[in-house]
A and B are shown apart, each in its own frame.
Chain A
Amino acid sequence: MTQQFLDRYIAGSSAIHGLDARVKLVLTVAIIVCAALMPIGAWLALLALTVLIWTAIVVSGVGLLTILRRSLLALPFLAVVVTLIFSVPGRPLFELPLGFATLTATDAGLLRFTTIIWKSWLSMQAALLLTATTHFLEVLRALQALRMPRIIVALLSFMYRYLFILVDEAQRLLRARECRSAALEGSGGGSLLWRAQVTGRLVGTLFLRAFERSERIYVAMLSRGYTGELHTLRAQAIGRRDLWFGVGGGVVLAIITAQAFLG
């Protein structure tokens, strides 16, 4: 697993890429909150929001298809929403006979299901656009500027730096286990207790290696002059263009939300 998986589109030079990370972060959160606020059946507002996000995606040059494909990753998590079609009371639409019970789909359930899927799909795309056009460390800097506690920002940045190294470490451990236990697939390969114990030792080993790595990192940081503060040379002023972009985006979102509730 490599960092490339996440950072493939960060090197772009579009207006979206160049936007100040703080403005981008605030706008993304605003889009997500706006989507969350949408009442059930506010189709026009949802459509407008979709157009807005898709425009931003096209402008960014990341590619609509790329974002849509990545948003499919979260589909299994949404499977649980399907039950809504049958569990919300309303006018019955059709029946689904199962072995032990008959499920009745209702119009209210279907309405709610469609709205929820659309809303969460939109917020997913907004989040994907942010992470595809902004380096994660920029997002962290923006978070820090927005008063996120320093220690959380520091932890997230360490975590991001060492995530892929430790995932590789974990995969090496898994490969070693597979090499040594030929019949582990399915139910074979020892009792459940034994298998859990092996996995527990893998976790323990991973923990130890991470611990020892963190000690090396700390010594390396000390020898480079670490005194408990993380310094950065980057300028912190927000440009006028960024500010106008942020205000404009905010106004559009406010109009869309107002339409959803009043229109």
Chain B
Amino acid sequence: MLETLVRSLVLALHISDGLLSLPVSALFWLLTVASVGWAVRRTEQALDDRQVPLMGVMAACIFAAQMLNFPIVGGTSGHLLGGALAAIVLGPWAGVLVMTCVVALQALLFQDGGIVVMGANIFNMGVLTAMSGGAVFYILLRIIGRRAWGLVGSSFIAAWLTVVLSATMTSLQLIASSAYPASLVLPTMIGVHMLIGVGEGLITAAALSFLLATRPDILPAWIADEMRGTSRPLSTRKILGFGLGIAGIMALLSPFASSAPDGLEWALQTLGGGSSGLSAGSPVGLLPDYTIPGVGGGLSTILAGLVGVLIVVALGYGSALLIRRRRAETRATKSITTS
């Protein structure tokens, strides 16, 4: 029973019809249409004729690459989702379109995932993976690119994150449809996919290193620039923009998760038997249970999320400034020693 449950939860990144309530399905159709429409506009602006067959064949390639599996432990095996890889090699907008086509074709021809919930499936496995994978990889490589492990590290983290985010979004949708208790879905889904994500990260990193070694010309030029160290340093405004964008989305989605205890709290509750010691009455909790006292309901959660976002952004901004200053110093000393 437990094993079947875990197996089906693993498969559950492809949500089938009936699992999501109609409002949730409709909402994610809207989000998907909006974001894919935006990606279409962005891609068409910069489209050259050559890219249409390239993206089409790449979509087929991602589909086929999902068959390349490798055994992990026991009977389970890992394979690629491919969102991060597509976004890194083709760019995030083209990546969104390619992954949209992959997920859509899987549903239409192979019955992987339902039709009513296709909006949610495309959002989770297409839009979310490509956007977050592309953005996180970009930021990370711009920061740590020049180190020997820069490319491997950035692509590993970016790809790992896409799987975990995708699983998180899937469980939030299931919970918002009130089909499943949050205490069951969230920890299981996220826990299992934190492991599966390792496979995704390793494969993506290995594939990218392979491509960089054999055909660096097909990768976006900025990656090679970054590796050689000939790129201009990343503007702080860009880092800030990316961070705010991602964090803002998370904050807007936070009402979905508002009533769901997170994995850590859940574990504490199960282990300790009593109430969790993290949120209630702890001196650390400035915003008890992610709400602002005196403001009601979902709005309060969003506001609390935004406050948290601002704090995180401030911390990130500070550390980014520190890193840049130190890097500038080392570069200065280097140029002195070489001259």
* Interface flag for B65 (CB, 8 Å): yes
Known: A73-B111, A158-B56. A123 touches B116 (CB 8 A): yes
Task: Find chain A residues with CB under 8 A from B110 CB.
Answer: 73
CB-CB under 8 A from B97, the residues of chain A are 151-152, 155
**What are the residues of chain A within 8 A of B202 when measuring CB–CB?**
192-193, 196-197, 199-200
- Beyond A116-B19, A120-B18, A160-B105, whether A154 also contacts B205 by CB under 8 A is no
Contact of A226 with B49 in the complex, beta carbons under 8 Å: yes
Residues of B within 8 A of A115 (CB): 18
Which range contains the number of B residues in contact with the other chain?
Answer: 35 or more
CA distance A109 to B49 in the complex (A): 53
Interface residues of B in 91-127 (CB under 8 A from A): 97-98, 100-102, 104-105, 108-116
Is A184 engaged at the interface, CB distance under 8 Å to the other chain? Answer: yes
| A258 sits at the interface (CB 8 A) | no
B257 interface residue per 8 A CB criterion: no
Could you say which of B208-216, B246-254, B315-323 contacts chain A?
B208-216
Select B60's contact among A36, A37, A159, A187, beta carbons within 8 Å. Answer: A159
Q: Is the CB of A169 within 8 A of B64?
A: yes
Instruction: Provide the residues of chain A in CB contact with B69, threshold 8 Å.
Output: 199
Q: A33 on the interface (CB 8 Å rule)? A: yes
Q: How far in angstroms is the closest Cβ of chain B from A132?
A: 11
- Asked whether, in the complex, the Cβ of A203 is within 8 Å of the Cβ of B65, the reply is yes
Least CB distance, A175 to chain B, in whole angstroms: 12
Please report which residues of chain B, range 1-54, place their CB below 8 angstroms from some CB of chain A when the two chains form the complex.
1-2, 4-5, 7-9, 11-12, 14, 16-19, 22, 25, 36-37, 40, 43-44, 47, 49-50, 52-54
The complex places the Cα of A157 from the Cα of B109 at a distance, in Å, of: 13
Asked whether any CB of chain A lies closer than 8 Å to the CB of B312, the reply is no
Query: Which of B129-137, B178-186, B276-284, B297-305 makes up part of the contact surface?
Result: B178-186
Interface centre among A128, A157, A217 (most CB of B within 10 A): A217
Segment from B70-78, B141-149, B223-231, B260-268 that makes contact with A: B70-78
Check if B206 is an interface residue, CB within 8 A of chain A: yes
Whether A71 sits at the interface, judged by CB under 8 Å, is: yes
A119 B17 Cβ-Cβ under 8 A:
yes
Distance, CA A225 to CA B6, complexed state (A): 53
Q: Are A163 and B108 in contact (CB under 8 A)?
A: no
Closest to A6 in B: B109
Whether B311 is near chain A, meaning CB under 8 Å from some CB there, is: no
Query: Interface SS of chain A: helix, strand, loop or mixed?
Result: helix
Q: Which of B16, B36, B102 has the most CB of A within 10 A?
A: B16
Q: Verify A98–B78 contact, CB threshold 8 A.
A: no
A204 and B206 form a contact (CB under 8 A): yes
Q: How far is the CB of A1 from chain B (nearest CB, A)?
A: 9
Q: Cβ of A131 and Cβ of B56 under 8 Å apart?
A: no
Chain A hits for B85, CB < 8 A: 203, 207
| Alpha-carbon distance A6/B70, docked complex (angstroms) | 27
Stretch at the interface among A54-62, A74-82, A246-254: A74-82
Q: A232 CA to B68 CA in the complex, in Å?
A: 36
Chain A residues with CB under 8 A of B139 = none
A243 to chain B, nearest CB (A): 24
The CA of A136 and the CA of B22, in the complex, are separated in Å by 28
21 contacts between A and B (CB under 8 A): A6-B109, A76-B7, A77-B16, A80-B11, A80-B19, A84-B179, A123-B114, A136-B108, A149-B37, A156-B56, A156-B59, A156-B101, A187-B73, A199-B206, A200-B210, A201-B210, A203-B68, A204-B207, A211-B218, A214-B56, A221-B53
- The list of the 9 closest CB pairs from A to B, nearest first, reads A200-B206, A158-B56, A204-B210, A196-B202, A210-B61, A116-B18, A120-B17, A79-B8, A214-B57
